[in-house]
Amino acid sequence: MSKPILISQLLNSAQAAEYLEQEVVVAGWIRSVRKKKHFSFISLSDGSCQPALQIIADAGISGYEEGSTMLTGSAAKFTGKLVASQGKGQGVELQASSIEVLGSAGEDYPLQKKATSLEFLREHAHLRSRTNTFGAVFRIRHALTMATHLFFSERGFINLHTPIITSNDGEGAGEMFKVTNFDLDNIPRTKSGSIDYDQDYFAAMTGLTVTGQLEAECFAMGMGRVYTFGPTFRAENSNTPRHLSEFWMIEPEVAFADLEEIAQLAADYVKYMISYTLEHCPLEISFLSEQYGEGKHQQQLESVVTAPVNKITYTEAIELLATSGERFEFSVDWGAELQTEHERYLAEKKFIGPVIVTDYPKECKAFYMKQNSDGKTVRAMDLLVPGVGEIVGGSQREDDLDKLTTRMDELKMERDAYQWYLDLRRFGSVPHAGFGLGFERVVAYITGMSNVRDVIPFPRTPKSARF
């Protein structure tokens, strides 16, 4: 098989010139076929770029008689000459001299040209990479992965792979999936009747990690600046457009840093990701903006890059919400969690862009956050964006051993299990801070997709782990 050339190379204007009037081979999946009497227009995609390649195949060229298999969804290889396009829209097109259908798709191919809703595509998640929408989303997801590693690497951070199986509930929220090799029909019990974890594989109760933060803190306390980028699991029963049971999180952790520094890092990181995407995926962004964002999404992203990110305290946020005149489903009381509707009001209507909220009541946040001198709030921050709400949660960490253990006792946490974490406060403790960014939430925000299930290849959500 002569080696096909990527369609992205053929359509790239600089390279197109090099191939113009040359014979080339392309291979991909047929997006659509328009049959005329003496020829067909075929639109072919190989997933390498947003536009499909327009191909003109005259009836009678080699392989054309297999026309009945030349259908939407079929995989095919075309040989032909790249010529300047007669039609508008595309600079070049392929004048085919032969066709080889490699894998035909019948009339029952599910993704026919007629509009296929995002819900329908979720049911066909194994095929949705063949649509314009998912091609765009996943090329952007890739760009955001690259942007993440570049951003942190350029700033001297070390990438750290933290464990997926852990015996610590790092957020203390009791949302861990269990990991065990017990025979579930015959679980060993202690004399008192409780589960005997001593007999389990790890001789302890273990689960899938809800955060890599505690381990990242260990490495920040030796290497200074680290970041994780890994799968994260939460067994929370949340069926919302922004929750997944399995998601990816980026968690930087910085020694000798305080809340202000880490908030600035989060704002810079989000802006960097937007700039990187606008630069590397302009066709994807404009396609999605037209398709789902009424053409305005792209401009909204562009405006974020240049504007400063607003920062308010939780107490100020409560005042703004209480005096907003909006009707919220959940009441606005100092001490309560901010709900998605509150977060979205702040980002979408009040600040019309990203906003960082700091200094939450300690009851709303995890045990490890640095306590403020008011005795009521902690040095926490969330970064909220339009369309999604919270995409980043972080804090300065409590570096004082007594304060941390007192808080753990209040929350009835077992100190023994956290001995190694507490050691960081015993030996060479320094102020440090970090945050976690939900990767699917940021991909949803930047692509403008309204459901995180549409920005991860195969979503896991309550009652759903197909594929």
Of the residues 63, 394, 431, 448, which one makes contact with ligand 4AD according to CB under 6 A: 394
CB closer to Mg ion out of 30 and 383:
383
CB closer to ligand 4AD out of 312 and 378:
378
> CA-CA distance, 384 to 344, in Å (whole number)?
7
Q: Does 434 bind ligand 4AD (CB under 6 A)?
A: yes
The minimum distance between CB 360 and ligand 4AD, in angstroms, equals 11
- Which range, of 99-107, 175-183, 332-340, 389-397, touches Mg ion by CB under 5 A? 389-397
User: Using an 8 Å Cβ cutoff, are 150 and 49 in contact?
Assistant: no
3-class SS at 379?
Answer: coil
CB closer to ligand 4AD out of 30 and 452:
452
The minimum distance between CB 212 and ligand 4AD, in angstroms, equals 7
Work out whether strand 158-160 and strand 92-103 pair parallel, antiparallel, or are unpaired: unpaired
Of 285, 286, 297, the closest CA to residue 144 belongs to 285
- Which range, of 99-107, 263-271, 303-311, 385-393, touches Mg ion by CB under 5 A? 385-393
Which residue reads 């300065």 in tokens? 396
DSSP 279: H
> CA-CA distance, 417 to 173, in Å (whole number)?
15
Q: Does 134 bind ligand 4AD (CB under 6 A)?
A: no
Site string for ligand 4AD, 194-233 (x = CB under 6 A): -----------------x-x--------------------
User: Using an 8 Å Cβ cutoff, are 252 and 265 in contact?
Assistant: yes
Helices and strands counted in the chain (H then E): 13, 16
CB closer to ligand 4AD out of 11 and 404:
404
DSSP for 24-63 reads EEEEEEEEEEEE-SSEEEEEEE-SSSSSPEEEEEETTSBT
| Interaction partner, residue 459 (ligand 4AD, Mg ion, none; CB < 5-8 Å by kind) | none
User: Using an 8 Å Cβ cutoff, are 367 and 173 in contact?
Assistant: no
What are the residue ranges of helices labelled H in 258-355? 259-280, 282-292, 297-306, 314-322, 340-344
CB closer to Mg ion out of 24 and 176:
176
Of the residues 438, 443, 449, 455, which one makes contact with ligand 4AD according to CB under 6 A: 438
| Interaction partner, residue 438 (Mg ion, ligand 4AD, none; CB < 5-8 Å by kind) | ligand 4AD
Cβ count within 10 A of residue 202:
13
> CA-CA distance, 401 to 385, in Å (whole number)?
34
DSSP for 107-143 reads TT-S--SS---HHHHHHTTTTGGGSHHHHHHHHHHHH
CB closer to ligand 4AD out of 82 and 338:
338
Cβ count within 10 A of residue 150:
13
- Which range, of 44-52, 83-91, 393-401, 414-422, touches ligand 4AD by CB under 6 A? 393-401
Of 31, 48, 5, the closest CA to residue 281 belongs to 48
Q: Does 393 bind Mg ion (CB under 5 A)?
A: yes
Of the residues 78, 229, 247, 367, which one makes contact with ligand 4AD according to CB under 6 A: 247
Site string for ligand 4AD, 136-175 (x = CB under 6 A): -----------------------------------x----
For residue 346, give the H/E element and its range.
none
Q: Does 436 bind ligand 4AD (CB under 6 A)?
A: yes
The minimum distance between CB 170 and Mg ion, in angstroms, equals 12
User: Using an 8 Å Cβ cutoff, are 278 and 285 in contact?
Assistant: yes
- Which range, of 63-71, 107-115, 245-253, 405-413, touches ligand 4AD by CB under 6 A? 245-253
Single-letter residue type at 237: N
Q: Does 392 bind ligand 4AD (CB under 6 A)?
A: yes
The minimum distance between CB 6 and ligand 4AD, in angstroms, equals 33
The minimum distance between CB 392 and Mg ion, in angstroms, equals 8
Q: Which residues bind ligand 4AD (CB under 6 A)?
A: 171, 211, 213, 234, 243-244, 247, 249, 251, 390-395, 434-436, 438, 440-441, 452
Q: Which residues bind Mg ion (CB under 5 A)?
A: 393
